[in-house]
Amino acid sequence: MPSAAGEGRGVSSRFPDFPWDTIAAAKQRAADHPGGLVDLSIGTPVDPTPSAVREALVAAADSPGYPTVLGPESVRRAAVDWLERRAGVTGLDTDQVLLTIGSKELIANLPTQLGLGPDQTVVIPELAYPTYEVGARYAGCQVVAADSTVAMGPQSPSLVYLNSPANPHGKVLGPEHLRKVVQWARERGALLVSDECYLEFGWEAEPLSVLHPDVCDGSHEGLLAVQSLSKRSNFAGYRGAFLAGDRDVVGELLAVRKHLGFMVPAPVQHAMAAALADDEHVRAQRTLYAARRDALRKALTGSGFTIDHSEASLYLWATRGEPCRQTIDWLAEHGILAAPGDFYGPRGAEHVRIAFTATDERVEAAVSRLL
């Protein structure tokens, strides 16, 4: 019987293998360590969701009716205020904000919801979060991996992704680089989408939003910034994020998502507003991550690793100068699981991504095994 997608077009033919399935054996070896598994492969939050966020969720728990796709004005106002307060974004209004069910959902569906298809090209970073490519291929688009306007060449793509601070390697794009890509995209009529989910976690560099006036000259035309609460507010289990930018594109996406029913639950919307209004819990979380980052960095370099980039985000981009799967096996023998760099593209073939989002106890266990 043919699949729902058509004869011979099952999931396995449309998508690559799910990356984490490929390290199942290494995970089992690491779990067999006498001290148990230290999982540094996925950057999932482990610390408590802030009390103000949980209280807002509970206060809005009596929500018998359907939420709206647009979301309340108060929630979108909290997003606008946060972008101005924390990222220096000016000139934005609430009709330029759209709530999403986490940022991965948005990125996976964005090319399809924009109506892109086989005749369109999507540009992604050379080392990239896999969902950029998966979402583009889901829509049937052509995909080009390029990190500079020179590498992109004369083509005219429909959609260009930026990710700064970047996953997996933590590099931060400076204002001149961002300005150049904005200009290049505008000249070609391409939509530029900047994934900024690690914006509040710069360690050795100051991340800048693509919507900052120093980058976009005060105009949001042709630009979208994707923001996530998962990292800054330990909000991953709530599935709440938002995009902001070009008013016309936001309006188009809103119309499509109304038809498709992409609604953030009402209690989660109110929890988002509480999270965006509170900066103190982010400062406290940064302190925790900074200590874990410092401890792991010292242990990795002390055991022969080189750390590249890693100036922002929640990861260390580490190498032993060997194929990444060999490094994964070495770490597994020490009871540690990391993400192979080849998850993110061929240029990651000799690196592993080490997340420092584990608990203090697990980070200490990893440090003791590395030294």
User: How many other CB atoms are found less than 10 A from the CB of residue 168?
Assistant: 28
From CA 250, how far away is CA 263, in angstroms rounded?
A: 15
What pLDDT sits at residue 9? 43
From CA 127, how far away is CA 9, in angstroms rounded?
A: 27
In this structure, the strands spanning 241-245 and 97-100 are: antiparallel
Compute the half-sphere exposure of residue 159: CA atoms within 13 Å on the CB side of its CA.
32
**Tokens 């647009």, located at residue:** 70
Say yes or no: do domains 11-48+281-370 and 51-277 share a fold.
no
**11-48+281-370 placed in CATH 3.40.50.12280:** no
From CA 350, how far away is CA 140, in angstroms rounded?
A: 30
The β-bridge partners of 161 are 193
Give the domain 51-277 fold: Aspartate Aminotransferase; domain 2 (3.40.640)
User: Which is nearest to 177 in space by CA: 188, 189, 166?
Assistant: 166
Per residue of the chain (371 residues), what is the pLDDT tens digit?
Answer: 333 444 444 445 567 677 778 899 999 999 999 999 999 999 999 999 999 999 999 999 999 999 999 999 999 999 999 999 999 999 999 999 999 999 999 999 999 999 999 999 999 999 999 999 999 999 999 999 999 877 777 779 999 999 999 999 999 999 999 999 999 999 999 999 999 999 999 999 999 999 999 999 999 999 999 999 999 999 999 999 999 999 999 999 999 999 999 999 999 999 999 999 999 999 999 999 999 999 999 999 999 999 999 999 999 999 999 999 999 999 999 999 999 999 999 999 999 999 999 999 999 999 999 99
Q: Where are the domains of the chain?
A: 11-48+281-370, 51-277
The dihedral through the CA atoms of 295, 303, 359, 274 has a sign that is positive
The pTM score is 0.94
Which residues, including other chains, have CB under 8 Å from residue 226's CB and lie 6 or more apart?
100, 103, 106, 107, 193, 194, 195, 196, 197, 241, 242, 243
What pLDDT sits at residue 41? 97
What pLDDT sits at residue 2? 37
In this structure, the strands spanning 352-355 and 315-319 are: antiparallel
From CA 266, how far away is CA 219, in angstroms rounded?
A: 31
Residue 130: asked if its preceding bond is cis (omega within 30°), the reply is no
**Tokens 């991953």, located at residue:** 236
As given in the structure block, the two tokens for residue 184 are: 């290049």
User: How many other CB atoms are found less than 10 A from the CB of residue 169?
Assistant: 26
Q: Are 46 and 359 in contact (CB under 8 A)?
A: yes
**Tokens 């799967």, located at residue:** 325
